[in-house]
Amino acid sequence: MAQELVVYFSVYGTAKTVAEEIARQTGADLVEIEPVVPYDSNRDHYNALARLAKKEHDEDQRPAIANKIDVAAYDHIYVGYPMWWYTFPMILYTFFDKYDFSGKTIIPFNTHMGSGDGGTYDTIRKLEPNAAVLEGLPVEMRDAEKGCAEAVRAWLNGLNA
């Protein structure tokens, strides 16, 4: 049986909620991508976070990751994130730059406020040409907050079909 990991980046907790549900339903290990410089998780400061995310994107920054994530031990890696400026947060570029996914299966998922996956699943395919990248699961932010168990179950069943 393939070893599975759910790795995620989350500031407001919605991607974390989906990640936890995937881990619960699959029995996969769960690891958070922790930035060296934490992001402000207070939703009242959303505009400041949006400005920072845009600056990171416009400057093609690679925010540092504080924790070491052992992807080598896993065959299937679920990768989750929120959408920021119609793409994934720049720390995900750091993650894909830092680790070798050759021969692995990457299974993306994301939370969003109306942009779906924003083309990020194709971006992962370009960043990781030596990995298989399966169809991901985009979850609208409000749906993640209300509960996503059924959406995750249906998606996982589709992956296994």
Where exactly are the structural domains of the chain?
A: 4-159
Give the integer Cα–Cα distance in Å for 112 and 110.
Answer: 7
- Residue owning tokens 């932010």: 141
pTM: 0.95
Instruction: pLDDT tens for the chain, 161 residues: list them.
Output: 569 999 999 999 999 999 999 999 999 999 999 999 999 999 999 899 999 999 999 999 999 999 999 999 999 999 999 999 889 999 999 999 999 999 999 999 999 998 899 999 999 999 999 999 999 999 999 999 999 999 999 999 999 75
Q: Do the bridges between strand 4-8 and strand 76-82 make them parallel or antiparallel, or are there none, so unpaired?
A: parallel
d(CA 117, CA 13): 17
At residue 124, the pLDDT reads: 97
Cα 113 to Cα 122: distance, rounded to the nearest angstrom = 19
User: Hey, which CATH number is domain 4-159, 3.40.50.1100, 2.160.10.10, 3.40.50.360, 3.30.70.520?
Assistant: 3.40.50.360
- Give the Å distances, CA to CA, from 150 to 37, 128, 140: 34, 29, 14
